[in-house]
Structure 1
Amino acid sequence: MNDTRQFHLLAGLATGRDARSDDAIYQSLWEAIVEHRLSPGARLPEDALAGAFGVSRTMIRRVLQRLALEQLVTLRTHRGAQITSPTPSEARDVFRARRLLEGALLTEVVGNIKPADLQALAQIADQEHHASREQAIRLSARFHTRLMAMAGNASLSEALSQLISRTSLIIAVYGRGQAGCPCEHHTLIKLLETHDLAALQKWMHEHLTGIEASLDFTASGDALPDFEHLFGHHREQNAS
């Protein structure tokens, strides 16, 4: 898998994707997972997905393997793929890792950030204000991924993008209500304008800790979603 390509998709930097390309199908499935339209434990049969998207099972298999590397999908021998059900212990580990990595990367972000970067972040934060809970989870992931891209450290940013994806799944599953107030990201933008590293790192630690503390760990069931309803428009779009 091309980690840089995945990172650009999550940050909202990729454009011009064909509706039946690997990237477009990956993005559609990723959004359906983090917006909780596909629930943890849901089975992902290759033939059903191939029919819904109007593509080959080989292409679907490649996309599922990409999602499995991010630990959003679990591949089981003789049982196929299903949406990963993160455990409470795994969720805490992910948040702990994010606090460490994002706090460290802020040092480089402060040294690199430009007015255009702040404007891009503000646009995402504005969209969060008008988004549904599910859309807000996706936009929050985009905000944090875009922020970490400003560090200029591709290796760490790409590793963090996987943690952000896993966090989105965790919040979609265990979150109660909105995943933090959208105004919190505007507060971060104001702090970025001051270049106050200590205040930024304190904010990030409290922000992620607050989201983790709001989680309500409960079990999820196993289901077979209506893939035609979720993804059939991709096939129709390419047929027109």
Structure 2
Amino acid sequence: MIQVPRVISSHRVFVREPSLERIPDVVFSQSYVHRLHALIENELSVDKLEISKRSTEALRKESKRKILERLNFDTEKLTNLEITVQDLKRKLEITEKSKRAKAVIECDKLKGQLEESDMTILKLFDLNNKLMKCVENSSFFDVNSSFESDEDGSASRRRISVQTRRISEKIARLQLVVQKLQFVLLKLDDEKEVRVKSTTSETRRRILLRDYLYNGEE
């Protein structure tokens, strides 16, 4: 045993240093080791579950944001379509005053198509608003929701996504229809303008001829 001398109050004191040989080895029982491993695995499982839950919640929030963004964009499209259709109706009323049979037939046909487009816009507005309220108030995008199983919630989210896409597709087709109606009305207006110019030119020619004949008789 090594003794280390220390001087305290002019007296020499020897302090024994602990021997490493006397420290007993710590032995853990198998049951304790198993419990420790189980505890660690349980903690890791909880951490993984929490990470997975946060990741799922983030994905669902992003999905909800994109769907609402698309529905809002579709609402803007429908608003613009409604404005365009109402403007075409006003222009058609002016064009209808033409008494040409062909123009009257074309105007009647165009009027029916505009009315049909207007009704379609109103229906799509209604569907779009209902779907938007459903997304905003539903629990399909809430990870902590206990009302539905994950499978049911996933099916509901897919159904909403499909309905949103279908509304967008219908709006796109309606935009093409309204563009065609714009072209038809523009063509009718051009024909009317050409006809008015032709009538004005013919009237002016007759006036000039009459004046020429009248002056010649004098």
Q: TM-score, normalised by structure 1?
A: 0.21
**Richer in helix (by share):** 2
Q: Which structure's CA Rg is the greater one? A: 2
